[in-house]
């Protein structure tokens, strides 16, 4: 369907990165790229696309969104794709057995808009066409986005999901009326921790919990690790706070070993 013309040009600022995890078909990546450009989103990241990259089917299906396809970045893992980001959302329609903050696309757009205006970096994870995101992908995020649709038929294809969330970003960018709640005042000496810094904290903590025997039950370990990571993700840690926590872990371990 053709869009409506506007007499007032609007050039949105760089928005959240769109991260497609293990997308299965090049055509779906192309249609997602088209939906991105409709909404002023330009940064596409791909995690292990099934049919490889570059992909001619993706370029064809993008219907002119060539710049997004040609500049797409490819990563081996979700953790690599979000490593430099500080605020990550996960788009999913399925309830999870984890404690997560669940928000609407409009709320996510407001938060992302504020965060980017303050110099932060954000992204949205989208899962595989067949099964969506895995729990180990979700644990990389700070909140889950659920699009309000018919609960009896909540499945969206990849391009629909990207557009539903991207359009809320476009509206938030075009209007200053969208505001996120819980404004956080942060000293200039620090900034929100990015995912790579959080990952190093998680690995440090998990290494010591393994050594102390806290994670000794093998079948329970994955769920316990995800719960710990979710808890720390929800804290919204700064880079300074991550360094402080790592210092605390080191101090406690050193004391115990002595």
CATH number at 244 reads 1.10.8
Angle at 199 between CA 161 and CA 124, to 5 degrees: 10
Q: Quick one: 55 and 153 in the same domain?
A: yes
**Looking at the 3D structure of the chain, how many domains does it have?**
2
Enclosing domain of residue 223: 195-257
**Amino acid 187: pLDDT:** 66
**Whole-number Å distance between alpha carbons of 144 and 189:** 29
Q: Quick one: 44 and 108 in the same domain?
A: yes
Q: How far is CA 35 from CA 76, 97, 99, in A?
A: 24, 30, 30
**Amino acid 198: pLDDT:** 95
Q: Is the distance from CB of 125 to CB of 16 less than 8 angstroms?
A: no
Q: Quick one: 72 and 133 in the same domain?
A: yes
**Amino acid 11: pLDDT:** 44
DSSP state for residue 3 in the 8-state scheme = P
**Amino acid 57: pLDDT:** 96
Q: Quick one: 80 and 150 in the same domain?
A: yes
Q: Quick one: 108 and 203 in the same domain?
A: no
* Helix extents (H) in the chain: 26-38, 56-61, 66-70, 78-82, 105-117, 135-138, 158-174, 195-212, 221-234, 239-257
Q: Is the distance from CB of 54 to CB of 20 less than 8 angstroms?
A: no
Q: Quick one: 170 and 80 in the same domain?
A: yes
Give the rounded distance of the alpha carbon of 49 from its chain centre. Answer: 17
Residue position matching structure tokens 């002023």: 40
Q: Quick one: 112 and 230 in the same domain?
A: no
Low pLDDT (below 70) residues in the chain: 1-13, 95-96, 175-188, 258
**Whole-number Å distance between alpha carbons of 68 and 61:** 12
Q: Quick one: 162 and 247 in the same domain?
A: no
**Amino acid 4: pLDDT:** 42
**Amino acid 184: pLDDT:** 52
**Amino acid 241: pLDDT:** 94
Q: Quick one: 100 and 203 in the same domain?
A: no
Query: Residue 218, Cβ neighbours under 10 Å: how many?
Result: 7
Question: Over the stretch 4-62, which tens digit does the pLDDT of each residue have?
Answer: 443 344 445 679 999 999 999 999 999 999 999 999 999 999 999 999 999 999 999 99
Query: The domain that contains 71 carries what CATH number?
Result: 3.40.1280.10
């Amino acid at each position: 369907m053709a869009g409506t013309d506007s007499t007032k040009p609007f050039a949105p600022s760089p928005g959240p990165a769109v991260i497609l995890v293990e997308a299965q078909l090049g055509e779906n990546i192309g249609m997602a790229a088209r939906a991105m450009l409709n909404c002023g989103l330009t940064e596409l990241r791909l995690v292990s696309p099934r049919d490889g990259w570059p992909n001619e089917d993706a370029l064809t299906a993008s219907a002119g969104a060539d710049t997004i396809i040609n500049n797409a970045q490819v990563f081996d893992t979700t953790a690599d794709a979000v490593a430099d980001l500080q605020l990550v959302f996960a788009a999913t329609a399925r309830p999870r057995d984890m404690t997560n903050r669940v928000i609407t696309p409009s709320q996510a757009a407001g938060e992302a808009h504020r965060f980017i205006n303050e110099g932060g970096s954000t992204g949205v994870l989208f899962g595989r066409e067949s099964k969506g995101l895995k729990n180990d992908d979700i644990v990389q995020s700070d909140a889950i986005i659920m699009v309000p649709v018919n609960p009896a038929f909540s499945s969206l294809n990849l391009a629909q999901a990207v557009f539903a969330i991207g359009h809320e970003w476009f509206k938030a960018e075009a209007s200053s009326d969208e505001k996120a709640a819980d404004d956080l005042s942060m000293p200039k000496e620090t900034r929100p921790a990015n995912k790579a810094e959080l990952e190093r904290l998680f690995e440090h903590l998990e290494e010591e919990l393994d050594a102390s025997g806290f994670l000794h039950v093998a079948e329970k370990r994955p769920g316990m690790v995800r719960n710990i990571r979710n808890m720390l993700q929800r804290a919204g840690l700064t880079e300074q706070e991550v360094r402080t926590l790592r210092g605390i872990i080191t101090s406690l371990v050193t004391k115990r070993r002595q």
